């Protein structure tokens, strides 16, 4: 009996340990992550205090923090070519990073770091000097700043067949020197790097190129990490949140199922399908069964996004800031529908794949500047500061833990649904008006549409909807309205 009880306890402890790395460690009722792509640490610290906390964001994914090669013209992707684990990049140094994490945690905003465990830099002519001044000879696999030598890497080979497991996991992704995570020494260096970040107060990691590493090696590394730092407000025994970049369109040899028990996985099918639907290539009525019925991962295992820093640059179905009306509709649906761990993208303007982030003549990244509405003006796009987007972050907080019900559609591209009796969303992606009485499921009263305006001093600056005692209200979204969405929730009741 005692033996059985012990076995059961151990088994439960094991289960909760592995499951725990799916917990984003959010504070309060918050539940949306924003990727502040290429932002500087000092700017993020200020953004946490002045914008993200007041607007109810839960966390920030930051760009890679460790030293990288310096590539001519400073393309954003140089940061995916590490040289050492010193915390100095164009976003700032270790002191600035630590200050940002402290200040963001102080206002309940969690920091997740994009970490490169798969590889170091690719070839470079001669000796490379990194962003912290460290020298390396990538072509010889010599990285004295760690130090790593050739024996810490897999033998060089090219990935030519993406369905060959050996090639995907042991050859070089676009020529990036491929670390051998099976070696005790490499593991110890990676764990030391991640533990250092945990010590500084981060809540977790985006694991870059996870698919290119064997899941058993990752399991060992994740399982060896320290608990989160209680001095930063995390509970005792809290495990770092892990979300892994695994691109799996289905039918792939290395699949997302090899990773989803270890931590969350980026659900690329979500991004592709939502883009297709809101670009008008799939009727919105089909979204009624959105989620696992579409072949997506279980909700608590899926890191979801409309676009990410890679696929927003591909010319395909995926939406980005360049199609703002569709993008805002897709984002509203993303944040209103109860599926996944949501991440919002915050970009800088780009013309081509390699465009660097906004920088000055000396190639220092510049800080975002804002107009009187709080929108970014100097090359930063800041989708997270668009009213229609941050208002939906507030919506998602207001309806947290409620069920979706009351689905309605017109058999085409007009849809609406309720979240408990706390929130209501309607979308019109048809070329004609949506004008009719719909069930909002809300308590009777007057509500501000948080898309066309907001509740300010007891009045709506945009549309308002009067809900009767049966929960019905007259909903109008004209086909030529500025936005194709209308959103009501209990925290914007007049």
Contact at 8 Å (CB) between 494 and 464? yes
Cα separation, 87 vs 100, whole angstroms: 13
Closest CA to 112 of 221, 245, 237: 245
Residues 270, 245, 62, 225: is their CA dihedral positive or negative?
A: positive
Helix axes 387-398 and 324-336, enclosed angle (nearest 10) = 10
Of 208, 217, 449, 483, the one binding ligand QV4 (CB under 6 A) is 208
Residue 208 is among the residues annotated as catalytic for this protein: yes
User: Interface with ligand QV4 by CB under 6 A: which range of 115-123, 222-230, 404-412, 428-436?
Assistant: 115-123
CA 389 centroid distance within chain: 14
Cα separation, 297 vs 264, whole angstroms: 9
Of 45, 52, 100, 209, the one binding ligand QV4 (CB under 6 A) is 209
**Binding to ligand QV4 in span 278-317, by CB under 6 A:** 310
Is 174 near ligand QV4 (CB under 6 A)? Answer: yes
Is 318 near ligand QV4 (CB under 6 A)? Answer: no
Taking the complex as a whole, the smallest distance from the CB of residue 181 to ligand QV4 amounts, in Å, to 15
Rounded alpha-carbon distances, angstroms, from residue 159 to 150, 156, 169, 341: 19, 10, 9, 31
Size of the site for ligand QV4 (CB under 6 A): 16
Of residues 260 and 428, the one with the C-beta less far from ligand QV4: 260
Is 211 near ligand QV4 (CB under 6 A)? Answer: yes
Give φ, ψ of 453 to 5 degrees. Answer: -175, -155
Angle at 493 between CA 490 and CA 494, to 5 degrees: 170
Is 27 near ligand QV4 (CB under 6 A)? Answer: no
In this structure, the number of other CB atoms found within 10 A of the CB of residue 44 comes to: 26
Of 26, 41, 57, 80, the one binding ligand QV4 (CB under 6 A) is 80
Is 415 near ligand QV4 (CB under 6 A)? Answer: no
Of residues 17 and 127, the one with the C-beta less far from ligand QV4: 127
User: Interface with ligand QV4 by CB under 6 A: which range of 167-175, 271-279, 331-339, 442-450?
Assistant: 167-175
Cα separation, 290 vs 279, whole angstroms: 16
Cα separation, 395 vs 491, whole angstroms: 8
Q: Is 25 helix (H, G, I), strand (E, B) or coil?
A: coil
- Bridge partners of 466? 446
Active-site residue (options: 208, 258, 383, 449): 208
Taking the complex as a whole, the smallest distance from the CB of residue 384 to ligand QV4 amounts, in Å, to 19
Is 70 near ligand QV4 (CB under 6 A)? Answer: no
Taking the complex as a whole, the smallest distance from the CB of residue 264 to ligand QV4 amounts, in Å, to 15
Is 30 near ligand QV4 (CB under 6 A)? Answer: no
Of residues 80 and 348, the one with the C-beta less far from ligand QV4: 80
Cα separation, 45 vs 40, whole angstroms: 9
Is 67 near ligand QV4 (CB under 6 A)? Answer: no
Residue 245 is among the residues annotated as catalytic for this protein: yes
Write out the catalytic residue numbers.
208, 245
Q: What residue ranges bind ligand QV4 (CB under 6 A)?
A: 77-78, 80-81, 116, 122-123, 173-175, 208-209, 211, 245, 247, 310
């Amino acid at each position: 009996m005692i033996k059985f009880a012990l076995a059961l306890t151990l088994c439960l402890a094991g289960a909760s340990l592995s499951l725990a790395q799916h917990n984003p460690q959010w504070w309060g009722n918050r539940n949306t992550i924003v990727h502040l792509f290429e932002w500087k640490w000092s700017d993020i610290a200020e953004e946490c205090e002045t914008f993200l906390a007041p607007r109810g964001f839960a966390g920030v994914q930051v760009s890679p923090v460790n030293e990288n090669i310096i590539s001519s013209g400073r393309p954003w992707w140089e940061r995916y070519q590490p040289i050492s684990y010193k915390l100095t990049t164009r976003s700032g140094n270790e002191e600035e990073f630590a200050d940002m994490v402290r200040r963001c945690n102080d206002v309940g905003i969690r920091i997740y770091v994009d970490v490169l465990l798969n590889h170091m830099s690719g070839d470079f002519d001669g000796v490379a000097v990194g962003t912290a001044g460290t020298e390396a000879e990538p072509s010889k696999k010599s990285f004295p700043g760690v130090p790593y030598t050739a024996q810490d890497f897999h033998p060089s080979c090219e990935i030519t067949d993406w369905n060959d497991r050996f090639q995907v996991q042991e050859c070089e992704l676009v020529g990036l020197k491929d670390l051998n995570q099976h070696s005790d020494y490499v593991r110890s260096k990676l764990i030391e790097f991640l533990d250092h970040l945990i010590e500084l107060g981060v809540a977790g990691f985006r694991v870059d190129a996870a698919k290119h590493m064997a899941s058993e090696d990752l399991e060992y590394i994740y399982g060896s990490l320290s608990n989160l730092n209680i001095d930063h407000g995390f509970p005792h025994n809290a495990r770092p949140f892990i979300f892994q970049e695994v691109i799996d369109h289905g039918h792939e040899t290395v699949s997302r199922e090899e990773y989803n028990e270890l931590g969350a996985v980026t659900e690329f099918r979500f991004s592709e399908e939502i883009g297709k639907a809101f670009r008008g290539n799939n009727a919105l009525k089909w979204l009624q069964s959105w989620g696992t019925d579409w072949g997506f991962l279980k909700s608590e295992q899926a890191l979801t996004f409309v676009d990410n820093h890679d696929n927003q640059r591909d010319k395909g179905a995926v939406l980005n800031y360049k199609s703002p009306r569709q993008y805002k509709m897709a984002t509203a649906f993303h944040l209103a529908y109860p599926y996944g761990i949501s991440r919002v993208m915050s970009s800088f303007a780009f013309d081509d794949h390699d465009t660097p982030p906004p920088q000055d003549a000396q190639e220092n990244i510049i800080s975002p500047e804002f107009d009187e509405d709080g929108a970014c003006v100097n090359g930063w796009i800041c989708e997270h500061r668009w009213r229609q987007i941050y208002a939906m972050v507030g919506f998602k907080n207001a309806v947290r833990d409620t069920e979706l019900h009351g689905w309605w559609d017109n058999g085409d591209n007009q849809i609406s649904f309720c979240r408990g009796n706390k929130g209501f969303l309607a979308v019109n992606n048809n070329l004609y008006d949506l004008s009719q009485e719909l069930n909002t499921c809300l308590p009777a009263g007057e509500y501000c549409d948080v898309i066309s305006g907001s509740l300010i001093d007891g009045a709506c600056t945009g549309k308002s909807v009067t809900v009767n005692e049966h929960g019905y209200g007259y909903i109008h979204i004209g086909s030529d309205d500025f936005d194709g969405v209308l959103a009501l929730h209990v925290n914007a009741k007049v």
